[in-house]
Homo-oligomer: A and B are copies of this chain.
Amino acid sequence: MFTPIKNTKVYEQAIEQIKKMILDGTLKKGDKLPTERDLAEQLQVSRASVREALRALDIIGLIESRQGAGNYIKENFENSLFEPMSIMFMLENGTHLEILEFRKMLESEAVALAAKRITDEDIKTLEELLYELKACNDEKKSSILDKKFHFTIAKASKNLLIINVLEVTSQLMDEFIKDSREKILAFEDNRAKLNEQHEMLYNAMKNRDVESSQKAMMEHLKFIEDYICE
């Protein structure tokens, strides 16, 4: 009856080894992994353990299996199936206020870095999103555009950790934006106010003005705070 424990240890070791190969640079983005058989030989574990390890890495969104072609380290991690941070936050009964504190921290720094590093292409994307947001009458779509607008700014920070944190809390941000927009837009005047705030942000980014960008972001998030207090 001790097989399960032994198995656990073995596939954990297999994952640890693959992790090491990534951390020491042996495996890179887009690289093909050795075959199951080769991995089993290299790691000196059974093929069943290798399969379990690969499956878990697939679920986490680190590798992708291409039918008949083997396993590859993913090129991008944007649509990772699993978001441990969102889930942990829900399990620990996190509040909207904590998300807002976090957004203030993350986005006021992101916008400052972005104001220095934003590309013309990023600015064009922001402009298009702003235009679409103004024209949009479907709240479900507006909520998605709103998130895209904020994520575009964060990505323009060119800081991988800031960008990755947003990816791993994506689901949490979706819910937060949806809920807070609902509360804010219960007052019809607020639609114009949100548009104005996004436009202020866009203009500050376009001018690559660090101070105005940060100010616009903080004003926007403080406005939201008034509506989400629990």
- Please list the residues of chain A having a beta carbon within 8 angstroms of any beta carbon in chain B: 4-5, 8, 11-12, 15-16, 19, 22-23, 25, 27-29, 52, 55-56, 58-62, 65, 67, 73, 77, 80-82, 84-92, 94, 98-99, 101-102, 104-106, 109, 113, 159-162, 164-165, 168-169, 171
Main SS at interface, chain A: helix
Which one of B11, B67, B159 lies within 8 Å of A59 (CB-CB)?
B11
> Of A59, A168, A169, which is in contact with the most chain B CB atoms at under 10 Å from its CB?
A59
Distance, CA A32 to CA B229, complexed state (A): 32
Question: Which residue in B52, B61, B90 is a CB contact (below 8 Å) of A23?
Answer: B90
Q: Are the C-beta atoms of B92 and A29 separated by less than 8 Å? A: yes
Q: Return 15 A-B CB contacts under 8 Å, by A number.
A: A8-B58, A11-B59, A22-B87, A22-B90, A27-B91, A28-B91, A60-B84, A73-B91, A80-B84, A85-B164, A88-B164, A89-B160, A94-B160, A98-B160, A101-B159
> CA separation between A165 and B165, bound complex, in Å?
7
What residues on B are CB-neighbors of A109 within 8 Å?
101, 104-105
A82 and B15 contact, CB distance less than 8 A = yes
Q: Are A55 and B58 in contact (CB under 8 A)?
A: no
* B85 in contact with A168 (CB, 8 Å): yes
CB contacts (< 8 Å) of A87 on chain B: these are 19, 22-23, 62
Q: Using A98-B161, A106-B105, A160-B92 as known contacts, say yes or no to A65 and B22 having CB atoms under 8 A apart.
A: no
